Amino acid sequence: MKTDSLFYRLFQEFPAIFFEIIGNTPQLADNYQFSSVEVKQTAFRIDGVFLSSQGEENPIYFVEVQFQPDRDFYARFLAEIFLYLRQNKPANNWRAVVLYPNQNADIADTKHYQEFFASERVRRIYLDRLEASADQSIGIVIVKLAIAPPTTTVELARELVSRVRQQVTNDLQQRQLVQLIETILFYKLPTMSREEIEAMFELSDLKQTKVYQEAKEEGKLEGIIEGKLESVPRLLALGLTVEQIAQAFGLNVEDVRRAAQNQATQ
C-alpha cells in the first residue's frame, strides 16, 4: 500500500483529521462527504475530494497527497481541477490542498500558478512541520506516525495506542483507530512479522483488519510454532516479558523460556 493510499483511507474514515490539518475546526467534517471523482473523457482521476453535503456556502476541497517529487505536478493537478469544474459546474467555490511529507518533495514548477498560492486558493502543507504539542489531537499524531522515521515509529505507535484506549470512549471508533495504526505499522515495518507487531502491542485487533485477512488468504501469515519462537529473542530485547510473548503468540510459557535460553547459549 502506498503512503497516499493510507492518507485517503484516513480521510475516508476520519474526515475531521483533514480539517484539523488545514487549521479548521474538525466539526466542519459533518458538512462534507469524502470521495474520489472521475474526470470524463480524460485519463484524469482526482483521488481526494471533500464535497459539501450542507449547501453552497461550503467550498469543495480537492486534496492531493504528494510524497514523490514531480516537476509537472501543479500543471496536472490544476488541469484535473479545472476539467472537473467545467464538466460538473458546481455552485460551490473551491479550494485545493497539497500534502507533502516535507518541503524537499515540493519541486514542481509554480511560475504559471503564483496567484493561486498568493490567494491561498491552493495551499501546500508540509506534514513534518505540523506543530507538536502535549494536547495535539489523536488524528494529527496518526498523521505524524505515517511519516515518522523507522527509529521512532514503534515508540510513537505505542504511545498512540495507549492514548486511543484512554481517550476514545466509543468502542467502534477506538477499534477503527487501533486498526488504522496497525495497518500503518504493517507497511512501515516490512521486516517484522505480523505476530511480532501484535505481540509488541498486545493487540488482537490486527486479525480483523482487511490487510491482515488479505495477507492471510495469500498465505503470508501462515507459519509454524518454530517460526514464532524465532521471534522470541527479538521481542525480549524490545522489553516484553516471557509471559507477554507466550500470551500474544498462544504458546506455552516454558516453550518461550526455552527458546530464550537456547538463543542465549548460541
Options 3.40.50, 3.30.200, 1.20.58, 1.10.10; which CATH number does 223-265 get?
1.10.10
- Tell me: pLDDT of 250 over 80: no
Mean pLDDT of the residues in the chain? 81
| pLDDT per residue as tens digits for the range 206-232 | 555 555 555 555 444 444 456 667 777
pLDDT of 147-175, one tens digit each?
A: 888 778 888 888 888 889 888 888 888 88
Q: pTM for this structure?
A: 0.70
Each residue's pLDDT tens digit, 29-51:
999 999 888 776 555 677 789 99
State how far the Cα of 201 lies from the Cα of 240, in Å rounded to an integer: 9
Q: Taking 50 as the threshold, does the pLDDT of residue 183 lie above it?
A: yes
pLDDT for residue 9 is more than 70: yes
Q: Locate 140 and state its grid cell.
A: 494529527
In the predicted structure, residue 184 carries a pLDDT above the cut 60 = yes
- 8-22, 49-63, 121-135, 193-207: lowest mean pLDDT where? 193-207
20 in Cβ contact with 139 (< 8 Å): yes
The span from the CA of 108 to the CA of 74, in Å, is: 6
Per-residue model confidence (pLDDT) at position 215 = 52
Nearest to 108 by CA among 70, 165, 140: 70
- For CATH 3.40.1350, list the domain ranges present in the chain: 1-130
CA dist 47 → 6, 122, 197 (Å): 12, 16, 30
Closest CA to 144 of 119, 125, 166: 125
* Mean pLDDT score, 251-259: 77
Strand partners, 152: none
Backbone angles phi, psi at 61, to 5 degrees: -115, 120
pLDDT tens digits for range 117-147 = 999 999 999 998 887 555 678 888 888 888 8
Closest by Cα among 258, 241, 171 to 208: 171
Strand 122-126 and strand 45-52: pairing? unpaired
Domain 1-130, CATH number (from 3.40.1350, 3.90.480, 1.10.3470, 3.30.2420):
3.40.1350
Share of the chain above pLDDT 90, in %: 33
Residues of the chain with CATH 1.10.10: 223-265
Read off the C-alpha cell for 144.
505524524
Q: Give the span between the Cα atoms of 166 and 174, in whole angstroms.
A: 10
